[in-house]
């Protein structure tokens, strides 16, 4: 490895799981570990063996998998006071995990030694030395996490440094300085790291930062600038309280901004996919505003901005989104100008022609509809239909004649929903009825049933998300609502929108747009039956 390389140490599977509502099964952990290994991460911390059956099962499963790039790591504490390493269950569990690397944490803040553990500062040094020597004697690579190092240094710098020296003297291969409480400001951390690096070779130092002040990424990058050879963190910044340093942002900045090689270029180009994959496994929404990889990271809404990036993307983008596997998005809203509309039309594959009046009309329509409560920045499906109607390229695949929704609830039974619908397609009428687990689901089922006779491919799509928002609450239950429907088929996802004072009617509009978008993109609307004479 070159001197400028930075080691990436991932603790998503251990520290990340301490985050609110973040939980992985052993199988989930193995899937993520494979993905991290494929990306070229150097260390993957799998968990704390002995703390729970799930982590021990993961280590057994992972032991049967040959990792191509990463070194699997087991995490735990130094030996317990009063026990030798041989007798300490923590140390035994670390060895039973059978990983090539072991990471142990110890106390670097004398307050934790005396008040939390209830031992003397000297005894704390013995815990560190004995544990590391024992693990090294078993042939392990050992990383020492100096817990609360920066708080400890601010309180008693001499003692904090003694704990680091004790770890290195005992044979630790690398020592990570931890901002465990996440409260160290960047200039404080830089000054402290500089002091430590003047006494200890920086290539044997790493950084482990928490985000309680929103500085975990900045603190990690500052440490690298001062020579830190390893950055610890989690994918998407998952972790306890406010989370850990987000390795996605760390890697993006190291590679694209600082010229520090940490992952292969091909892996950096897949950062967006990695971030979303872990988010999916964690069953948490992917944060749209996440730097580098969020769906809004390169989204442009203001007309002036869109006009500028059409000429030179550097005008309002700090880097090329494709370098991290993301893409540029133009958002259409009441702030839009012609440039937004024309750029968005190209993105959606719609030819507006050379008549500037068309895009001006679309702008006027959007501004009017957004004033009524529509929001097209989150509804590309409905926006596509609006544009196609404006240029006259959309044939309406069906017309509603009527629908009726009944929701029945008795004293002891759960509610029961039914829907009856009458539509016309090319002058031919179809009447169907269906049931559902709610009024919108019943309406969806009835409409699909009616349309399937004319458009069999409607069965390829399904609804994946349904969101309702009250637009202005002063009217209480009579307030206008906005419904967003997210739909999917085998090739893409799209979102449509409906607005009304009636939640069923708003849902109907969004539902119709969703199905019309599906038929339109499959060119099914080119085959709408002709009106009968």
Q: What angle do CA 23, 24, 29 make, to 5 degrees?
A: 150
Instruction: Give the chain's count of helices (H) and strands (E).
Output: 18, 16
**pLDDT-flagged residues of the chain (< 50):** 1-4, 533
Q: What is the DSSP string of 321-337?
A: GGGGT---EE--STT--
Q: What is the DSSP string of 453-478?
A: TT-GGGGG-EEEEEEEEES-GGGGGG
Question: Is the CATH number 3.40.50.300 carried by domain 399-527?
Answer: no
Q: Which two tokens stand for residue 439?
A: 């009024």
- Rounded Cα gap, residues 332 and 206, in angstroms: 44
Host H or E run for residue 192: helix 186-197
Quick check: 248 and 275 in contact, CB under 8 A? yes
CA-to-CA dists, residue 292 to 231, 234, 318, 450, angstroms = 18, 15, 10, 44
Smallest CA-to-CA distance from 95 within 153, 126, 50, 129 is with 50
CA-to-CA dists, residue 520 to 491, 509, 515, angstroms = 14, 16, 8
The sign of the dihedral angle between the CA atoms of 461, 462, 465, 469 is: positive
- Rounded Cα gap, residues 382 and 197, in angstroms: 57
- Rounded Cα gap, residues 228 and 415, in angstroms: 61
pLDDT tens digit sequence for 367-419: 888 788 887 766 888 888 888 888 888 888 899 999 999 988 877 777 889 99
What is the pLDDT, as a whole number, of residue 17? 94
Reading across the β-sheet that carries 416-425, which strands appear in turn? 399-408, 416-425, 428-436
Q: Which two tokens stand for residue 373?
A: 């409560």
Mean pLDDT of the chain: 89
**What residues have CB less than 8 Å from 213, skipping those under 6 apart?**
182, 183, 184, 185
**What residues have CB less than 8 Å from 363, skipping those under 6 apart?**
336, 337, 338, 340, 341
Answer whether 0.85 is exceeded by the pTM: no
- Rounded Cα gap, residues 92 and 102, in angstroms: 12
175: β partners: 144, 205
Q: Domain coordinates of the chain in residue numbers?
A: 7-263, 299-390, 399-527
Quick check: 48 and 20 in contact, CB under 8 A? no
Characterize the bridge pairing of strands 399-408 and 416-425.
antiparallel
Ramachandran region, residue 259 (left: φ > 0; alpha: ψ -120 to 50; beta: rest): left
Domain 7-263 architecture: Alpha-Beta Barrel (3.20)
């Amino acid at each position: 490895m070159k001197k400028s390389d930075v080691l990436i140490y991932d603790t998503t599977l251990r520290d990340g799981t301490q985050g609110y509502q973040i939980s992985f099964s052993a199988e989930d952990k193995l899937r993520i570990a494979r993905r991290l290994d494929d990306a070229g991460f150097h260390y993957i911390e799998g968990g704390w063996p002995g703390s729970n059956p799930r982590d021990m099962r993961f280590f057994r499963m992972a032991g049967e998998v040959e990792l191509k790039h990463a070194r699997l790591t087991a995490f735990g504490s130094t030996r317990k006071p009063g026990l030798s390493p041989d007798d300490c269950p923590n140390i035994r569990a670390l060895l039973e995990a059978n990983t090539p690397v072991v990471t142990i944490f110890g106390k670097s803040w004398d307050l934790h030694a005396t008040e939390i553990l209830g031992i003397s500062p000297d005894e704390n040094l013995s815990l560190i030395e004995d544990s590391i020597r024992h693990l090294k004697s078993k042939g392990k690579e050992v990383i020492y996490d100096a817990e609360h190092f920066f708080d400890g240094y601010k309180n008693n710098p001499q003692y904090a440094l003694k704990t680091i020296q004790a770890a290195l003297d005992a044979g630790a291969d690398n020592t990570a300085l931890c901002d465990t409480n996440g409260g160290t400001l960047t200039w404080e951390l830089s000054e402290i790291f500089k002091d430590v690096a003047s006494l200890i070779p920086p290539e044997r130092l790493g950084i482990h930062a928490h985000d309680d002040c929103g500085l975990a990424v900045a603190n990690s990058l500052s440490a690298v600038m001062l020579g830190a050879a390893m950055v610890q963190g989690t994918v998407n910044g998952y972790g306890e309280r406010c989370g850990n340093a987000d390795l996605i942002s760390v890697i993006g900045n190291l590679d694209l901004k600082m010229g520090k090689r940490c992952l292969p270029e091909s892996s950096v180009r897949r950062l967006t996919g990695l971030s979303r994959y872990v988010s999916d496994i964690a069953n948490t929404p992917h944060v749209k505003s996440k730097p580098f990889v969020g769906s809004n990271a390169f989204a442009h809404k203001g007309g002036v901005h869109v006009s500028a990036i059409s000429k030179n993307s550097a005008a309002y983008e700090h880097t090329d989104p494709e370098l991290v596997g993301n893409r540029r998005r133009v958002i259409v809203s009441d702030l839009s100008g012609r440039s937004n509309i024309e750029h968005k039309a190209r993105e959606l594959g719609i030819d507006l022609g050379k008549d500037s009046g068309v895009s001006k009309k679309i702008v006027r329509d959007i501004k009017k509809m957004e004033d009524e409560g529509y929001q097209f920045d989150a509804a590309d499906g409905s926006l596509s239909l609006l544009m196609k109607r404006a240029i006259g390229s959309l044939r309406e695949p069906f017309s509603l004649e009527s629908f009726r929704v009944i929701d029945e609830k008795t004293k002891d039974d759960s509610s029961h929903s039914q829907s009856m619908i009458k539509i016309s397609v090319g002058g031919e009428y179809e009447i169907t009825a269906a049931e559902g687990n709610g009024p919108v689901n019943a309406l969806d089922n009835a409409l699909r049933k009616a349309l399937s006779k004319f458009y069999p491919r409607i069965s390829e799509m399904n609804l994946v998300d349904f969101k309702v928002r009250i637009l202005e609450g002063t009217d209480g239950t009579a307030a206008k609502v906005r419904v967003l429907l997210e739909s999917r088929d085998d090739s893409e996802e799209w979102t449509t929108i409906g607005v009304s004072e009636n939640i069923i009617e708003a849902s109907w509009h969004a539902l119709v747009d969703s199905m019309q978008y599906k038929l339109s993109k499959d060119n099914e609307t080119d085959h709408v039956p002709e009106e009968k004479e």
